């Protein structure tokens, strides 16, 4: 159990101020009245104001890859802050140059890097670049973007339009026009009614149909994560991404790969798409780029695409500015983050940890309330159901009890919340890449025991 050590009266005083002043993310009003008040972080652990310790098996919000309170990262930020804390990238500075070079090394290609602050912004930049590229390449009618149902690409009006989680969109529409959606590559709940042994990659072939239905000359780009993460950890068939790349090439459509969660070693490769041997035209990234320590994101554009922006005609340059994007402190911090990952061989460590987690969780495959186990590198999704034969999704209270049971035993896990109606039933795991073998065992054992206890005590 998490052990209480701190002053409860002090915690309550802080919470009273919280209730008066703070508006929390993704929380209904009643739940937001009693949030956990996090005080400190140590490696993969957080400590609340009352002194309770929790192993953070979600890396904050899929981002604290190097754990909390890493002094080398803090020192890198401090050193840059006292040397030069800010200058916009209307000109340049060395940390941005160093990081751009490092990202090209990790991407194993030739890319130009545009910096922003968040994954949403990185995707907005990608959409604008894709549309302007086609316009300046003599195809001004190409403006539509194809995404997938259940996918998440951000919360701004364009990125939310690309998002295929319609519980996130409700009450905010109409959003930006021109965004289309196709069914996800969900092998467990196949939208095409196929069993794995009878799969003909309909989930990939649908792109060919939709591009034709929409008229190919109107489609600018396809955007996708290597796997759908926050929408339920949906892992595609191995051939899926390569087939979508082929269809994009066939019609002159750009492929944007959203690596905001899957990037920076999380998949067991530097970037998630490298597991599928494809080369994107545009790659968006954030979160793990600084291990979550400071806001930073990047949009990487293949050098060949950048060529159409070299013209000095009026309006030919990319007319997009970001006050804080590419902040020198964040860039210096990101460079040190990637250096540490290289020094500690954390990409391979992520692959090893992911394989170990998959092996440990395999015991759940026979549990009556576990419909599917899904893994991608050091990411895992556990789909909870009423029973295996019906695949009826487990209700919210069952999922909530499992998460609460884990928290009561000192481990924080996540779920796919506010995504698709009646399908917020997938537990998610995204631990820091620096967890020890013993800490990994604690995560797995706690999750297994929580599902077993809640399943035994609850009729779903």
pLDDT in tens, 332-369: 999 999 999 999 999 999 999 999 999 999 999 999 99
Half-sphere exposure of 299 (CA within 13 A, CB side): 27
Per-residue model confidence (pLDDT) at position 10: 82
Q: What percent of the chain has pLDDT over 90?
A: 91
Q: Which helix (H) or strand (E) covers residue 384, if one does?
A: strand 380-384
406-448 per-position pLDDT tens digit = 999 999 999 998 898 989 999 999 999 999 999 999 999 999 9
Residue 298: beta bridge partners?
115, 285
Q: Are 87 and 328 in contact (CB under 8 A)?
A: yes
Per-residue model confidence (pLDDT) at position 172: 95
Helix 240-251 and helix 202-214, axial crossing angle in degrees, nearest 10 = 20
Per-residue model confidence (pLDDT) at position 6: 53
Is pLDDT of 3 > 80? no
Closest of 91, 93, 92, 111 to residue 101, by C-alpha? 111
241-280 per-position pLDDT tens digit = 999 999 999 999 999 999 999 999 999 999 999 999 999 9
∠ CA 193-232-293, rounded to 5°: 155
Strand segments, DSSP code E, in 251-321 are 254-258, 282-285, 297-302
Q: Are 117 and 325 in contact (CB under 8 A)?
A: yes
Per-residue model confidence (pLDDT) at position 1: 46
Query: How far is 162 from 169, CA to CA, in rounded Å?
Result: 10
Contacts of 43 (CB under 8 A, 6+ apart): 67, 68, 69, 432, 434
- Torsion (CA) 284, 374, 150, 104 in degrees, nearest 10: 10
Question: Regarding beta strands 144-148 and 38-42, do their DSSP bridges make them parallel or antiparallel, or are they unpaired?
Answer: unpaired
> At 234, phi and psi to the nearest 5?
-95, 110
Q: Are 194 and 230 in contact (CB under 8 A)?
A: no
Whole-number Cα distances in Å, 285 to 320, 326, 334: 18, 13, 12
- Torsion (CA) 397, 162, 377, 398 in degrees, nearest 10: 0
pLDDT band of residue 224 (cuts 50, 70, 90) is very high
Number of CB atoms found within 10 A of residue 43's CB: 18
Is pLDDT of 316 > 70? yes
Per-residue model confidence (pLDDT) at position 418: 87
Q: Are 427 and 402 in contact (CB under 8 A)?
A: yes
Per-residue model confidence (pLDDT) at position 458: 79
Contacts of 45 (CB under 8 A, 6+ apart): 53, 54, 55, 56, 68
Q: Are 233 and 380 in contact (CB under 8 A)?
A: yes
10-59 per-position pLDDT tens digit = 888 999 999 999 999 988 898 889 899 999 999 999 999 989 999 999 99
Per-residue model confidence (pLDDT) at position 459: 63
In the chain the domains, ranked by start, together with CATH numbers, are 8-69+346-457 (3.90.1150.10), 71-343 (3.40.640.10)
In this structure, what token pair is assigned to residue 180? 């289309």
Per-residue model confidence (pLDDT) at position 275: 98
Is pLDDT of 184 > 90? yes
Q: What percent of the chain has pLDDT over 70?
A: 98
- Torsion (CA) 220, 225, 229, 230 in degrees, nearest 10: -30
Per-residue model confidence (pLDDT) at position 31: 87
115-136 per-position pLDDT tens digit = 999 999 999 999 999 999 999 9
Per-residue pLDDT, averaged over 363-388, amounts to: 97
C-alpha R_g of the chain: 22
What is the residue whose two structure tokens read 């090893």? 352
Whole-number Cα distances in Å, 59 to 250, 256, 258, 333, 434: 39, 25, 19, 18, 10
**Mean pLDDT across the chain, nearest whole number?**
95
């Amino acid at each position: 159990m998490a052990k209480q050590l701190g002053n409860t009266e002090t915690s309550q005083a802080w919470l009273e101020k919280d209730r008066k002043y703070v508006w929390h993310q993704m929380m209904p009003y009643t739940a937001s009245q009693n949030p956990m008040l996090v005080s400190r972080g140590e490696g993969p652990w957080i400590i609340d104001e009352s002194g309770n310790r929790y192993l953070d098996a979600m890396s904050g919000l899929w981002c604290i890859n190097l754990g909390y309170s890493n002094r080398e990262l803090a020192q890198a930020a401090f050193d840059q802050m006292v040397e030069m804390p800010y200058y916009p990238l209307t000109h340049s500075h060395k940390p941005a140059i160093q990081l751009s070079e490092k990202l090209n090394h990790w991407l194993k290609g030739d890319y130009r890097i545009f910096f922003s602050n968040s994954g949403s912004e990185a995707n907005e930049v990608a959409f604008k670049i894709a549309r302007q590229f086609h316009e300046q390449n003599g195809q001004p009618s190409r403006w539509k973007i194809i995404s997938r149902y259940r996918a998440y690409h951000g919360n701004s009006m364009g990125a939310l339009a690309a998002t295929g989680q319609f519980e996130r969109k409700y009450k905010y529409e109409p959003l930006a026009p021109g965004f289309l959606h196709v069914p996800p590559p969900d092998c467990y709940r196949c939208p095409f009614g196929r069993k794995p042994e009878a799969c003909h990659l309909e989930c990939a072939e649908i792109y060919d149909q939709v591009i034709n239905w929409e008229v190919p000359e109107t489609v600018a780009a396809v955007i996708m994560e290597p796997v759908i993460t926050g929408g339920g950890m949906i892992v595609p068939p191995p051939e899926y991404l390569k087939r979508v790349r082929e269809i994009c090439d066939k019609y002159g459509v750009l492929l944007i790969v959203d690596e905001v969660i899957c990037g920076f070693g999380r998949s067991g490769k530097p970037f998630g798409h490298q597991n599928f041997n494809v080369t994107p035209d545009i790659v968006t990234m954030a979160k793990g780029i600084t291990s979550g320590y400071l806001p930073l994101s990047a949009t990487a554009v293949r050098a060949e695409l950048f060529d159409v922006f070299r013209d000095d005609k009026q309006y030919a340059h990319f007319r997009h500015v970001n006050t804080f994007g590419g902040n020198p402190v964040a860039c210096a911090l990101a460079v040190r983050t990637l250096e540490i990952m290289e020094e500690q061989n954390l990409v391979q460590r992520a692959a090893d940890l992911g394989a170990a987690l998959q092996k440990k969780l395999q015991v759940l495959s026979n549990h009556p309330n576990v419909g599917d186990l899904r893994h991608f590198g050091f990411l895992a999704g556990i789909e909870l159901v009423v029973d295996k034969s019906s695949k009826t999704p487990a209700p919210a209270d069952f999922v909530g009890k499992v998460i609460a049971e884990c928290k009561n035993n000192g481990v924080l896990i996540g779920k796919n919340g506010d995504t698709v109606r009646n399908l917020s039933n997938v537990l998610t795991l995204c631990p820091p890449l620096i967890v020890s073998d013993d800490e990994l065992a604690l995560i797995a054992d706690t999750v297994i025991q929580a599902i077993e206890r809640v399943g035994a005590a609850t009729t779903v």
